[in-house]
């Protein structure tokens, strides 16, 4: 027995590759032979040779060679099957050109939407996630899995990236049991009007880089996206995920011209989740039993009011030693940098993506839920103006109200200090963007 691979095809003579009855021809070799017009034939071995005698007829001639997998025609002859259309997917490897029949353009032909996928059957018609990197991908996945949104659209300027991820996510619909339509496009215009636009696009942090190092480059990206999103979807809610988050949220609000109630930053949900996970591990209790909110900035001025924090109903300062609690707050504050250092390339994405989806879903379901969010204060907590992380009640149209919690004097001072620092960085950003 001989195995014929692709190397055997180019050497085939007279347009035929002759193989034995017990030989094996690999699928890739068959496809290459079809592409080059080479017929694969199986030579019949025939019966053992018997010498002829005077009274005997010569042995019958070997059966005619027939094409491999040939089908008999009406006259008894054999015809080779037609080539596969499109060619077998096994031929395609990462980076290889696609056959037109399986190219992205062929996968996005107009189709009649199923009734369960229409906006009438879902809480929200369309959510657009800008940026098909890791954070955007996880955000889109969690939104689609919720099965309350008619369509989730990923947008990325990298040709094919958003479409590829969208198709990959679509392939999981049967596995995960959701009916959300998922698309991937290269522009907001192609995505169409949306109820919510999540901005994750921007440069990611590298080891040793602070969030503020990203200000100038990401301001250009976020500002342009916010303006375009508002023009296409005047009633949309913008959720900003791009770092440095506090400054980018303020910048998106100014660039978009949307009401401040409809421009919100994600950070507080993420920082709270990080602290809950770490505190749960330290207290040997599920993270779901830890109640705590991260306020202030998404960075050095993050504030976790410990007077309000609980572990399984017990004040966290009673459940754990004070020194350990302080260490947990510091670690939560620096968790993003810790992950960047461990990954070596790139930054956190699963928890940020899940946090962004959590906020959109809270708004989409009109849950009236209180979540920490980067919002524009107007006198609450003694902060006269500016974006800062505060407890917020979210609804279908974004921010419903800022909820004032009873903070200790030190906690209140820390939140106000965070607001001041953010305002200073926003002023620096405005000077930079004005000069550019």
Overall residue count recorded for the chain in this entry: 436
Q: Who contacts 268 (Cβ-Cβ below 8 Å, separation ≥6)?
A: 293, 294, 295, 298, 371, 372, 373, 374, 389, 390
| 218 token code pair | 């990401």
Q: Is the peptide bond before 244 cis (omega within 30 degrees of 0)?
A: yes
200 contacts 188 by C-beta, under 8 angstroms? no
Task: State the catalytic residue, choosing from 99, 134, 250, 298.
Answer: 298
| 417 token code pair | 């200090």
| 192 Ramachandran zone, left/alpha/beta (phi>0; psi -120 to 50) | left
The dihedral over CA atoms of 386, 360, 107, 189, expressed in degrees to the nearest 10, equals -30
| 307 token code pair | 């007077």
Q: Who contacts 305 (Cβ-Cβ below 8 Å, separation ≥6)?
A: 292, 293, 295, 405, 407, 408, 411
Q: Is 108 an active-site residue?
A: no
Distances (CA, A) of 304 to 59, 356, 420: 95, 20, 17
Helix H or strand E segment including 255: helix 245-256
Q: Which among 341, 300, 318 is positioned nearest to 424, based on CA atoms? A: 300
CB atoms within 10 A of CB 435: 6
Active centre residues (catalytic): 298
């Amino acid at each position: 027995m001989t195995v014929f691979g692709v190397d055997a095809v180019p050497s085939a003579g007279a347009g035929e590759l002759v193989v034995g009855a017990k030989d094996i021809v690999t699928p890739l070799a068959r496809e290459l032979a079809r592409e080059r017009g080479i017929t694969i034939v199986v030579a019949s071995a025939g019966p053992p040779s018997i010498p002829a005698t005077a009274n005997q007829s010569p042995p019958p001639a070997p059966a005619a060679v027939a094409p491999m997998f040939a089908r008999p025609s009406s006259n008894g002859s054999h015809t080779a099957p037609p080539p596969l259309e499109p060619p077998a997917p096994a031929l395609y490897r990462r980076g290889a050109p696609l056959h037109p029949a399986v190219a992205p353009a062929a996968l996005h032909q107009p189709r009649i939407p199923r009734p369960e996928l229409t906006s009438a059957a879902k809480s929200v018609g369309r959510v657009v996630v800008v940026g098909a990197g890791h954070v955007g991908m996880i955000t889109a996945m969690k939104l689609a899995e919720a099965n309350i949104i008619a369509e989730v659209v990923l947008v990325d300027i990298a040709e094919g990236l958003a479409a590829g991820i969208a198709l990959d996510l679509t392939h999981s619909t049967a596995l995960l049991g959701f009916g959300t339509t998922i698309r991937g496009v290269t522009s907001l215009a192609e995505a169409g009007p949306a109820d919510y636009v999540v901005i994750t696009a921007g440069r990611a942090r590298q080891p040793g880089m602070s969030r503020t190092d990203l200000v100038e480059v990401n301001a250009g990206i976020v500002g342009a996206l916010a303006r375009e999103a508002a023009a296409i979807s005047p009633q949309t809610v913008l959720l900003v995920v791009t770092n440095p988050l506090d400054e980018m949220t303020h910048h998106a609000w100014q660039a978009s011209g949307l009401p401040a109630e409809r421009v919100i930053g994600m950070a507080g949900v993420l920082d709270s989740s990080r602290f809950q996970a770490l505190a749960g591990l330290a207290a040997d209790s599920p993270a779901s039993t830890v109640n705590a909110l991260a306020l202030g900035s998404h960075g050095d001025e993050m504030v976790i009011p410990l007077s309000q924090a609980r572990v399984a109903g017990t004040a966290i300062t009673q459940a754990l030693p004070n020194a350990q609690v302080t260490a947990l707050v510091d670690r939560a504050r620096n968790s993003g940098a810790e992950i960047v250092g461990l990954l070596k390339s790139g930054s956190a994405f699963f928890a940020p993506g899940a946090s962004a989806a959590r906020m959109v879903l809270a708004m989409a379901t009109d849950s009236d839920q209180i979540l920490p969010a980067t919002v524009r204060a107007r006198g609450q907590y003694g902060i006269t103006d500016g974006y800062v992380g505060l407890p917020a009640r979210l609804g279908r149209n974004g921010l419903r109200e800022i909820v004032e919690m009873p903070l200790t004097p030190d906690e209140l001072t820390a939140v106000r200090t965070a607001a001041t620092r953010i305002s200073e960085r926003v002023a620096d950003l405005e000077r930079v963007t004005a000069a550019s």
